[in-house]
Structures are given as C-alpha cells and as structure tokens.
A and B are shown apart, each in its own frame.
Chain A
Amino acid sequence: MSLLKVDDLTVYYAGEQSPALKGASFELDHGRTLGVVGESGSGKTTVALALGGLLPSGAKMKASRIELGGHDLLDISKRKWLHLRRSEVAFVFQSPVDSWNPTRVLRVQVKDALQAAGRSDDYSRLVSVLQRVGIDDPDRALGSYPHQLSGGMLQRISIAVALVHEPALLIADEPTSALDSTVQAEILEILHELRTEANLSLVIISHDLSVVSRLADEVVVMYGGRVVERGETEDVLGLPVHPYTRGLLASVPKLEGETRTPLPAMAFGEIADQGCVFATRCDLREETCLRTDPLPIEHKSGFVACGPGMEKWSKERS
C-alpha cells in the first residue's frame, strides 16, 4: 500500500497569477525513497511545503487527492496538521543555520518540539539519536546557540529532532546544499543508513543529480511547476526521455573529463501560459508543443510528458 499519494496538485502563492505548481502527481510506497529534481524555481520546495501544510498564508492549494498514511490531507483541521507534523511527517530544510531561532538556546527549541508531541521519554531518546547521527557530546551541543555550531552539526540536530518521533515520512528539502562537500557526504550517508534502520520513507529534494541518484528509488523531474518525467531512478536517470531531463543530465560536470553541455538558461517569465512549459528551450519543439499541454505518456514504471521526446527515444532504442 502506498504511504503517500498525490494527484493533480496545484498551488498558487498569494497574489500570483501563474501557479508555482501545476497538476503534480506522484506516489510513494512505505520504505521507499522518492527523489525530486529540477532547477531553481521549478516548485520542489512548494511540493514539500504543501505536504506539511506549511504553505504561507494566502497560498491556495488544490488537488484531486493527497493522502498520507491514510489521512486525507485535503480536508484536515489545523489541529490535525499539528498532530501529523508531530507524528507522521517530519522535515529537514536546506539551511541548517536558518532552521533554528538564532536567539534561543537549542535545548529549549528542541524541547518545544518534543513537548509539542508530549511524550515523556523523548529527551533521552533524542540524546541517543543525536549520538547516532554523529553528535558526540549532545549535552554540549544542545546547550549552544545556533551561531556557535557548524552547519553540519546543526543539520545533524535537525535530522535527529525530525526522526525522534519515528515519523513515517521524512521530507528533506536540499538537506546538503548549504554544506561543504565532506559534510555533505556524511549527511547523505546518515540519511542512507537511517532509511533502512528506521524503516523510513524519504522524499529527497535536490537539484544535485548525484544526491538523488545515490538515495532515490524513484525520481520525479520537475520543470516550471510541472512534473515532466517520473519513474524508477535507473530508468529516468539512466535512459532519460524528456528533453529537459536529458539536458539536466548532460549539464552535470563529469570527472572523467567529458565535456559538459550547458543547459540553456531560462529567462525570467519565459514559461508560457499554454503549451509545454519547456517548449521555449526545447530542441525537439514542434508546432503543437506551443499550443497544447503535453499529456503524460506512460513509460516503463512511470510517465513522460513529452510526445516528441518519446518518439525520439523509441527511435534511438530501435
């Protein structure tokens, strides 16, 4: 049974004419990891926030279905959201430093979170989780102000606090982007291990394909607020179909000295109101792409929202 099921999710921020997210659909089974990739502004964070009821006030959210662990997230009270965030879905955000109130000692902030869930043995369990994620001296770390600790330490604490109530789903929005590369690798390793240890389902959001390919079982590729391609990781990243996914993969710098092909940059406001969002940057563009929204075409384990891309792919295969 799937843990998370999202159908046709659309989000408008307050006062915006065009949606930040349009018609996104995906699902996730228990114990699996979903990677969400896409360039800046493609709507990755918006997906995460929508799943936690954390969209800023004034934002409008529509969907034909959002279910998380049997809860219908479309019809849910504020209290129920609180309850869910305390027990079912936890978050780790991009900037560890900004995730903590700069003027309060970490211990009291952590206690606020634990108290919210209201379980008595939480603090001692947190201490052991902290040790598990590599904080050798939890007491000293929690006795500090955020500015006294490194980004890596703070992100470990964020992860520990997120996991202490054993949530079914952890949503990590660019958890390593703000860290330097050695720390990045350590944090990814921790997430990788915890996934199996804690039987955790994970949504990992990143614009870094290596992060996603390392952790994710399935991938959702986003562009301009749409999901353009979805499927098993090896299918999507190994044999990409959508021209955007292909461009994304080709633009990744490679160690072996292969030349990378830069992805043409997107100009501001370039995304059209109608037709394929990627059309203006696409080398497979056809007349119809500019007029009609591409329909998702089933492909392997997932789908691709691009007719010409699918044709090209089949030709290359045969």
Chain B
Amino acid sequence: MTDTEQDSLVVGPEHENRFSSGPTANFAKGLLWLLVVVLAAVSLTFILSRVIPADPARLAAGLEAGPDQVAQVRQDLGLDKPVVVQYVNYLGGLISGDFGDSIRTRQPVINDLLEALPASLELIVVSFTMIAGLGILLGIIWAYWPRGLHSVLLRIIAVAGSAMPVFWVGLLLQVGLAANIDWLPIAGSFNHRKYGVDEITGSGLLDSLISMDTSAIVEAIRRLVLPITTIVFHNIALTMTLMRSSMSEQLQRPYVQAARARGVSESKVVTVDALRNALNPVVTMLGLQLGWSLGGVVIVEVIFSWPGIGLYAFSAFQAFDYNAIMAVTIIATASFVLINSLVNRIYRVLDPRIT
C-alpha cells in the first residue's frame, strides 16, 4: 500500500490536526466528527426507509388487517405525521437511546440489540484475534522465508480464502465437515439453559468459562469452530499478504542491514526493528476490517443460525422492520467511525513522524 492510499483510508479528524493541537481539542473534534457521520447515516437511512415502496403500517398490522386497523396502527406508530415531524421525533428518541419498537418482535429495538450483541461480539472478538495474530505471524514467516513448501501452502490459502465468497466457504464447511464429523454442529450457538450455565455476559464462551464446567466449555468451543473458521479463512488472506509484502519491503531497507552490521541479532532486527514499521499498513487495514466486522458477520450468522446482530438484521430486513434496520445501520456506522479513530491513535504511536 502506498502512502497516499493510506492517507485516503484515514477516516476521522486526523486531517484537521495541523490547524490546532492538544489532546482535548483532538478528542472534541473526534466526537464532533462521530456525531456528524452518525447524523448523516441516520438521515440517509431515515430517508431510505420512507421512500422504499413498502408500507410499514401495513406490514405491522398483519395480513388479515382491514383498512381501519391499518390506519389505527399507522396512527399508533406515528407514521401519519409529516415526515419532518417523524424525523425530529426519531432523533429525539435516539438521544435517550430509544430506537423505537420493532414491528416484528414488538419490543423496544434497543432491548433486542442488547440481547443479540454478546453473540456477535463473541464471533467478532475471537475471529479478529485469530485473524490479526495468525495473519501477522504467518505474514512474517512468509516474508522471512519466501521460498519453500510453506510459501506454496500460504499462497494457496491466501488465494482460495480471498477468492471464495464467505457464504460459499460456510456452506462448504457445513457440507464437507459438519455433515461428516458428528462432533461438529452444523449450526446454532451455545444454549445456556441446556448446560445450566448462568447468563452473565450473554456470550456462551465467556459464561461457560466463568462456570468452569468443562463440558460447557467444550460445547461453547465446538459451536464456535465452523463460524470462526469461515470468517478467519476468508479474512486472513488480506492480513497475511499485506503483512508479507510490508515485511519483505522493510527487510530490504538499509536500516535493517545497518542494524545487522552493528551486530544486532537477527531475531531482534526482524521482530523489533522491521516489524514495527511493517505493522503500520497492517494496523490500518485491520482497523478497517474490524470496523466492517459488524456488517461482515451478517452472512456468517445467517448461515450458522448464530443469534447475533447480523441474524437480527437479516430478519429485520425480511420483515421490513424499519426501526430495527435503522438501528443496526446506525450502530454499524458508529462503530466503524469509532474504531477507525482509535486505530489512527495506534498508528501515531507506531510512527512518531506522524504528528
């Protein structure tokens, strides 16, 4: 990745930093930026939800409802008011964390989301850790020993992983592995009640770890294997190949040779000197990946019936559950912007020349 490309990838307030400085000013700017982006996302999804030729009142009232009932529902939901009023009301609700009610589950959307979030976070955290850790490690190995059997293998993984769509990988694993190996479940997530594990965090893995019940822990891991493999297989290619090219570029830099000439050991030259510089583009890329991950898990959650935000969003789309759709969109956007501004901070720690 070239420097200019990196610059254009930078999302957030970093560009304004030349004009004023100070951590507080930066923080305030970051917050302001977050608000602007989220507001834009809210407005856009709001407009979209109102121009799409589907009638939420009609859907909410149900197929059997007559015109009077639909009109009643429309009034209850506030959909009979002018669009501008609806918009202002919606924004007003957002400030107090109220995303409206779901017409599908008939509960506040925020409750649905909080219920679904732990399952998604579990997938995201576990897969992202593996993508980052494994991808960086394999990339370093690949760059340092570019020839040999392992490099052929890594190349195949990289090409196959990035070329195959996620749903395809997921289905292949289900058909090829889960169907033949009894131990691997085809779909579904950890069932707290069945294993008598308290729902403390809502994440099967964490709760079973807290319960310290071995069979529950094994079950939680068993459930994770296929969805995680699917995500990691598809996403690790980018990290691995970027790490490799970035690392081999750094290894050819004169400062690496100079450090070797000063008698610094090979392991230190590679893992301290070169790695530090090679990580820059990888961190940026991983940040973007993490930012997208909330949207990225939708397909995986649907394939593996994983009850997270993605599956929730999918069901919401099918039912044209407009409040739920808007809520998911807003949260996905906000997390993207937030994660990116965090990454930019890490980036600056890695490279002191960026002020």
Contact = CB atoms under 8 A, between A and B. Distances in A.
Interface stretch (A27-35, A60-68, A108-116, A283-291): A108-116
Interface in B232-262: 252-255, 257-262
Interface residues of B, number: 23
B20 interface: no
Given A104-B276, A112-B272, A85 B257 contact: no
Interface in B29-69: none
Assign chain A's interface to a size class.
20 to 34
Given A82-B263, A85-B261, A90-B261, A103 B254 contact: no
Contacts of A85: 260-263
A135 interface: no
A315 to B, nearest CB: 46
Of the listed residues B257, B268, B276, B351, the one surrounded by the most CB atoms of chain A closer than 10 A to its CB is B257
B273 A113 contact: no
Interface in A258-281: none
A251 interface: no
Interface majority SS (helix, strand, loop, mixed), chain B: helix
A162 B277 contact: no
Nearest to B257: A54
B194 interface: no
Contacts of B276: 101, 103-104
A252 interface: no
Contacts of A116: 262-265, 268
Nearest to B353: A147
A78 B265 CA distance: 10
Given A145-B352, A145-B353, A101 B261 contact: no
Interface in A24-58: 49, 52, 54, 56
A99 B258 contact: yes
B350 interface: yes
B259 A101 contact: yes
A95 B254 contact: yes
Contacts, number: 76
B259 A113 contact: yes
A102 B277 contact: yes
Nearest to A105: B352
B255 A102 contact: yes
A158 B272 CA distance: 19
Contacts of A101: 255, 259, 273, 276-277
A187 B166 CA distance: 60
A113 B253 contact: no
A289 to B, nearest CB: 37
Contacts of B257: 49, 54, 93
Nearest to A147: B353
Nearest to A108: B272
B259 to A, nearest CB: 7
A161 B268 CA distance: 18
A112 B268 contact: yes
A98 interface: yes
Nearest to A110: B262
Nearest to A98: B254
A95 B273 CA distance: 18
A91 interface: yes
Contacts of B353: 102-103, 145, 147
Contacts of B273: 101, 104, 109, 112
A117 interface: yes
Nearest to B277: A103
Nearest to B263: A86
B151 to A, nearest CB: 13
Given A104-B273, A109-B259, A99 B265 contact: no
A123 interface: no
A211 B352 CA distance: 36
A101 B261 CA distance: 13
Contacts of A78: 266
A114 to B, nearest CB: 9
A113 B260 CA distance: 9
Contacts of B254: 93, 95, 98-99
A61 to B, nearest CB: 16
Nearest to A112: B264
Given A49-B257, A54-B260, A103-B353, 5 more contacts: A93-B261, A98-B253, A109-B273, A116-B262, A147-B353
8 contacts: A90-B261, A93-B257, A95-B254, A99-B258, A100-B258, A101-B259, A104-B273, A145-B352
